[in-house]
Amino acid sequence: MNLVREIAMDNRVGAAMASFESNLRTTVDLAVAIQQIPSPTFEEGERAVYVESLYAKTGLDQVHKDEIHNVFGRYAGTDSRQSLVISAHLDTVFPIATDLAIRYDGPKMESNRIYGPGLADNALGVAGLITLARTLERNGFRTESDIWLVANVAEEGLGNLMGMRAVVDKFGPDATYLVLEGGSFGLVFHEAIGVHRYLIEVRTPGGHSWGDFGKPNAIQILSSLINDISNLNVPAEPKTTFNIGVIEGGTTVNTIASVANCQLDLRSAEKDLLDKITNQIGRLVESANGQPDVQVVMTQIGKRPSGRISRESAVVKMATAALEQVGCSPVEFMAGSTDASVPIGLGIPSVCIGLAKSGNTHRLDEFVDITHLAQGLGQLLLLSLAMAGLVGEGAE
């Protein structure tokens, strides 16, 4: 019999699982309260203070923040030499001034779909941490490992997984790691997609649109470079992608632009293909740089590791069993760039899981669908207890 199924048969676990459904709106309200505090990458301080105050009320011990605003709290196990680290990122892709208003698709208490920027990614993930802490406490579950609940910074954008790198530095390679996302229920991320990010800057002497016509224009040079990048052939399998996500440049309409830049995101499931596309773009940049009076510089601004935890590993099997136990089938196995990429890139067994279904991620009309949220929380409890080693009632 598998461990997850055995844990699910424990009466206390059964009662806790049932409570997720009856307390569903509490978890949703908590997610909304977290979502209402703006938390762009590198500006997570205010949300971190709020989450720390929530931790303090749950009775977790060793509640504290580090200097980059990662928030920690511990649910003590019977053997503190072992740690299970469960994390959810605090940051969002939305700038500080974004309107964070929540919208329901009907009367509040009947809506399953709730719209709000950053609600699924990742206020709900953080709310999952708090809900888990409350559930562990309320039921007095005892586990072998310490369970550290970590709300970390800098997962999105140019954060470069800095928050999670600090977390993995702190707990080391002997800890096990479980990463939560508010969306993505039913998926198990066990593969880390390698990501390279670059800033491409074009500089020219510029000039007057009429008087200097014909001199190199940074915007036009950058546009033509972007066009060349857009025409690159990338394989669908192993999936390899490029994206120009930000573009800036120029000063006035009648000035030949002297500066222009863009930010480029390259990803591949295969390290060699990621290196290949990076080199191809490097060559395009070099040839643009060869034109007179034109300077093109490509600077790396982000790098996320690639790696893979086998589907046969204990952690992936437990994650699969937890999803099946709550009635989710088939389980989908995914590659992605999540905080789990940090431990996975180091070969440390870890996965990222989701709590509910969601849509329009990273858009202003992002939404979470709470239809499966109770199952998502059930999966989280089962997997946490399996990974941390639930101490049975008769085992004391």
Interaction site with Zn ion (CB under 5 A): 121-122, 181
**Selection from 329, 333, 315, 312 nearest residue 375 by Cα:** 329
Q: What gap in Å lies between CA 302 and CA 67, rounded to an integer?
A: 21
The least CB distance from residue 89 to Zn ion, in Å, is: 6
Nearer to Zn ion, 154 or 381 (CB): 154
Q: Minimum CB separation from Zn ion for residue 180, in Å?
A: 9
Nearer to Zn ion (CB atom), residue 152 or residue 375:
152
Least CB distance from residue 93 to Zn ion, whole Å? 9
Q: How far is the CB of 31 from Zn ion (least distance, A)?
A: 13
Closest CB to Zn ion among residues 30, 161? 161
**Residues sharing a CB contact under 8 Å with residue 98, sequence separation 6 or more, in sequence order:** 38, 117, 364
Residue whose C-alpha is closest to residue 302's, from 273, 269, 267, 276: 267
**Shortest Å distance, C-beta 337 to Zn ion:** 10
Which tokens belong to 392? 């049975």
- Residue 325 DSSP symbol: H
Q: If you ran DSSP here, which 8-state letter would residue 120 be given?
A: I
Which distant-in-sequence residues (6+ apart) come within 8 Å of 137 by Cβ?
Answer: 58, 59, 60, 75
The residue (of 121 and 366) whose beta carbon lies closer to Zn ion is 121
CA distances, 205 to each of 212, 293, 295 (Å): 10, 7, 10
Nearer to Zn ion, 69 or 74 (CB): 69
